[in-house]
Amino acid sequence: MGLDTDIRKRLKKKDILLMTHVVLGYPSVEESFRTIETMVDAGVDLMELQIPFSEPMADGPVIVRANQDALQQGIGVEACLDMAEEAARSFEIPFLIMTYYNIPFCYGVEPFVSDMARRGLRGAIIPDLPPEEGQIYLKAMQTHDLAPILIFSPTTSDVRMRQVSSRAGGFIYCVARRGVTGAATAFSDDLTLYLERCRRACNLPLAVGFGIRNSEDIDFLKGKADIAVIGSQTIRLMEEKGVASVGGYIRGLRVTNPLL
């Protein structure tokens, strides 16, 4: 089953799906896997597993710090893929790799994609690889039936959106605003209009990330997008209150105006 088909099947039971983000190896290998377990138990529908990189250009300070800490502890690509495989084999939700192109380029694009498929992963998000420069990667993803998740932003033109969507698979990641992850996003008419443009430009499900923090944000996205992406906020919470607190937070995202 293709990832987009899987997502649409899940959407028959829920009005919007939740996707979370884990930096593999942060704050430790054991704790990052415990975070994955906690998120799955809390009802997450998809998860992106980030292979740390020294210059994560699309990420804000919270995720950058997590990347740097994991690298300082010595986490490597092979260990990350091992952990991703364990997650994919253990839990019945789609898992994606998120990283930067230097990682598969140095590993070898075809071997990297082949390893993702062999380990049970469903696709990848590589935000610094323009599709025009990713022919080898995109061909390998197609060969191994993996979804190359590509990105729209508010500054992407309608023509460019159609070009990008023709090369994408699984879903489109719609960046909610300019800038990097972690900062606040204005959930406004401008965002609604932008998502309407995204919807007209492609037939794939739409995921929205950057700045989603609470159930009100997710309620705003219902009917406008198919997947809400939670990233920096769960890392902040884990750092402040521990892994166990992440489960309650995620469950609360399904509740309108939860008591604080």
Residue with tokens 């829920």: 14
For residue 204 the two structure tokens come to 């794939």
State the Cα–Cα distance between residues 141 and 9, nearest whole angstrom. 22
Q: What share of the chain is helix, strand, coil (3-state, %, to 5)?
A: 45, 15, 40
Strand partners, 18: 228
- Report the C-alpha gap between 100 and 105 in whole angstroms: 9
Q: How many residues does the chain have?
A: 260
How far apart are the C-alpha atoms of 85 and 87, rounded to whole Å?
5
Catalytic residue status for 59: yes
- Write down the catalytic residue from 4, 6, 45, 59: 59
Report how far apart, in Å, the C-alpha atoms of 202 and of each of 69, 76, 85, 162, 188 are. 37, 36, 30, 6, 22
Q: Which among 4, 6, 45, 48 is annotated as catalytic?
A: 48
User: Is residue 48 among the annotated active site residues?
Assistant: yes
- Report whether the peptide linkage leading into residue 52 is cis, meaning its omega lies within 30 degrees of zero: no
CB–CB of 249/234 below 8 Å?
Answer: yes
Which residue is associated with the tokens 């969507």? 165
Q: List CB contacts of 23: < 8 A, sequence separation 6 or more.
A: 32, 50, 52, 63, 66, 67, 70, 235
C-alpha 53/C-alpha 76 separation (Å) is 10
Which residues are catalytic, by number?
Answer: 48, 59
